[in-house]
Amino acid sequence: MLTSSKKTLGNNGELAVALYLIKNGFTILMKNFSIRGGEVDIIAQKADILTFVEVKTRTNNYFNTSEVITLSKQKKIILTAKYFISQHKYRDATYRFDVALVDGVTQKVTYLENAFCENNY
């Protein structure tokens, strides 16, 4: 697969998840927030909960969450989320880490709330 088509696949997946979140009452605060140590695909808020969402889009139907979001990737997402919280005055916010798995062919979103947590480290 060409790099540009992978990028398009990823962008389409992120769009599908953003629409899913909006449909479920979330406000999208930011997409593709990155710092030197990591990136968060989507940062959303619903009521008092900040949600940091990792989006994985695949063209095959097989997803193994443990292989998709490695411990190293989780640590980078958590580091990035903490930076976002400190820089955007959300220090007292409740937050969680979700994973959205997107079928790149059908655009079906499988959404996993609290897929991992910072206390695992």
Q: Is 11 helix (H, G, I), strand (E, B) or coil?
A: helix
Question: Residue 1: pLDDT above 50?
Answer: no
pLDDT tens-digit readout, 88-121: 888 788 999 999 999 888 889 999 999 998 875 5
User: Which residues 6+ apart lie within 8 Å of 22 measured at CB?
Assistant: 28
Question: Residue 2: pLDDT above 50?
Answer: no
- Residue whose pair of structure tokens reads 């655009």 in the numeric block: 107
pLDDT tens-digit readout, 29-64: 999 999 998 999 999 999 989 999 999 988 876 666
Residue type, 51: T
Taking residues 74-96, report their average pLDDT.
91
**What is the spatial distance between Cα 85 and Cα 103, in angstroms, rounded to a whole number?**
30
What pLDDT does 25 receive?
A: 97
b (16+ CB within 10 A) / e for 37-67: ebebbbbbbeeeebbbbbbbbeeeeebeeee
Domains in the chain, CATH or no CATH each: 3-120 (3.40.1350.10)
